[in-house]
């Protein structure tokens, strides 16, 4: 039996809005002057460099490709919590996946910083997706009672 349904659906809604807002002015309409409100929303958590961001309707998104991957991964992972609990309940692999995704992020960022390789918007988004999905899946089993059937 799923518990804390209000919390689950509240966070699901918030993550859905997070993904929608991160699409930026291409979805929400560009403003005549000043910084778009979606860019203000994510300013504290993302460098928002246009050449490291996907475009939506020909306009750069409000977050870079890695952040968009993380947000979308968080949302997608959260969405699958009710479906995947048989695979994740009392299992350690989701936490291992999260750790693996964190290590991959560090390796990818460091390699690019040290000019060992050049990552792309797609590769950054995919690695971000893995991190976000891993974070959501790692806490998914907390929404089920300890005495739930596997």
Partner 1 sequence: METEEINENPPPAFSNYLPSVAIVGAIFGVVSFVLSLFFGYQQINAEPTGSIFSPVMLSGVVVCLITCFGGAVAVWHYTKEVSSSLTLGQGSLIGFMTGAVIVLATVVFNEIWMLIDPDYTEKLIEATVANVEAMDLPQNAKDDMIDSMVQGVRSSQSVLQQIFWGIPVTGLLNLITGMIGTKLFANKEEESF
Write the DSSP symbol of residue 59. Answer: E
Q: How far apart are CA 12 and CA 68, in angstroms?
A: 16
Which residue has 């000019």 as its token pair? 115
Residue 83: CB minimum distance to partner 1, A: 19
Give phi and psi for 94, each to the nearest 5. Answer: -65, -40
Cβ–Cβ < 8 Å for 137, 94: yes
Q: Segment near partner 1 (CB under 8 A), from 23-31, 79-87, 119-127, 131-139? A: 131-139
Q: How far is the CB of 18 from partner 1 (least distance, A)?
A: 7
The reply on whether position 150 binds partner 1 by CB under 8 A is no
**Binding residues for partner 1 (CB under 8 A):** 1, 3-7, 11, 14-15, 18, 34-35, 37, 39-52, 60, 74, 95, 98, 109, 112-113, 135-136, 138-139, 142-143, 145-147, 149
């Amino acid at each position: 039996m799923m518990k804390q349904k209000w919390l689950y659906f509240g966070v699901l809604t918030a993550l859905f809005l997070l993904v929608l807002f991160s699409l930026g002015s291409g979805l929400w309409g560009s403003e005549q002057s000043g910084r778009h409100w979606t860019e203000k929303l994510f300013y504290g958590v993302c460098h928002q460099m246009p050449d490291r961001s996907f475009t939506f309707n020909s306009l750069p998104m409000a977050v870079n490709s890695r952040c968009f991957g993380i947000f979308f991964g968080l949302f997608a992972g959260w969405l699958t919590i009710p479906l995947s609990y048989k695979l994740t309940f009392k299992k350690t692999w989701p936490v291992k996946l999260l750790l693996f995704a964190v290590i991959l992020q560090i390796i990818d960022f460091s390699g690019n910083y040290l000019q060992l390789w050049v990552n792309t918007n797609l590769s950054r988004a995919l690695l971000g997706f893995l991190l976000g999905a891993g974070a959501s899946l790692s806490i998914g089993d907390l929404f089920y009672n300890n005495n739930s059937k596997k």
